[in-house]
Amino acid sequence: MKKKILIIEDEEFLSEMYKIKLISEGYEVAVASDGQAGVKLAISGKPDLILLDLMMPKMNGFQVLEKLKAKKETSVIKVYVLSNLSQGEEINKAMAIGADGFLVKASLTPTQISDFVHKVFDNKKGKDKNIVPGIRSRDSLVKQEEHNGSSVLLIEDEEIIAEMYELRLSKAGFKVTVAHNGAWGLKLAKKEKFDVIVMDMTMPAMNGCEMLKHIKKDSLNHTIPIIVLSNSAQDRDIEETIKNGASNYLLKSQITPVRLIDEIKKVLNIN
């Protein structure tokens, strides 16, 4: 029987990352975006483990802990606080209320989170030296859905974001190749034909505008759609990016894996 995990986290971007990774590792995962909803799901779903953020709307993590520990049916659930509030005061308070541990969110990747969960459940998967985190879960995700025949070059230097998009796109049936800097992305674009390129604008080795110009000028992919992800909402940046050949310009703060898949399907005319 699958172990059940409840993630109580109001940042959709983060909860989506953790959910994707943990599901790919064989867990049943539910998500609550505020404290009140988290308590209700804990009572109704009876998870084996809760990953709990502290700063949330409606009811903060400390209040959630107090509620859970006060009820007999939820008092035995393992609860690990996952937060960027890592001062001694917050840690001591959480542990005093009943948390089983405290994890610093900013210091952990989805793979490290899943490795930690394996250890909590004493799962042999987390101890098997022949299993490489990330590769194994990508393989299992691809088996869930057949490839739709479309290939994606993902150029993104932030490992956590790249891993999240790669997992979700693979699950949706895309063949995904990842480059962690602009120079490597351009090298791949010159060497192999893709159906769409998704690229960050700010990266080491070569920035987004330079890369766009090179891809559109002298690569095998000069005619394919290119979706740009950026943190800048300035009109001049958007105009320059489109001028240099981008098909679409999306703000990273507003994009989710589901929306990115929708945008890719739009430019490729996939239903």
Q: How far apart are CA 186 and CA 204, in angstroms?
A: 12
Could you give the 3-state DSSP secondary structure of residue 229? strand
Asked whether the beta carbons of 211 and 143 are under 8 A apart, the reply is no
pLDDT digits (tens, 9 = 90+) for 67-120: 999 988 898 898 988 887 656 677 778 888 888 888 877 767 788 888 888 888
Asked whether the beta carbons of 50 and 27 are under 8 A apart, the reply is no
pLDDT digits (tens, 9 = 90+) for 177-229: 998 888 888 889 888 999 999 998 887 767 778 888 888 887 888 889 999 98
Q: What Rg do the C-alpha atoms of the chain give, in angstroms?
A: 21
Q: How far apart are CA 102 and CA 90, in angstroms?
A: 9
Token representation of residue 34: 């505020």
**Looking only at Cα atoms, what is the longest distance across the chain?**
66
Q: How far apart are CA 124 and CA 120, in angstroms?
A: 11
Q: Looking at residue 243, what DSSP letter applies?
A: H
pLDDT digits (tens, 9 = 90+) for 38-77: 999 999 999 999 999 988 888 898 999 999 999 888 988 9
Answer yes or no: pTM beyond 0.85.
no
4-126 CATH, one of 3.40.50.2300, 3.30.1490.20, 3.30.160.270, 3.40.630.30: 3.40.50.2300
| 36, 83, 178, 243, 249 from 182: Cα distances, Å | 43, 32, 11, 19, 17
145-268 CATH, one of 1.10.150.120, 3.40.50.620, 3.40.50.2300, 3.30.2320.80: 3.40.50.2300
Residue indicated by tokens 């089983």? 100
Tell me the average pLDDT of the chain: 82
Of residues 8 and 172, the one with the higher pLDDT is 8
CATH 3.40.50.2300 in the chain is located at 4-126, 145-268
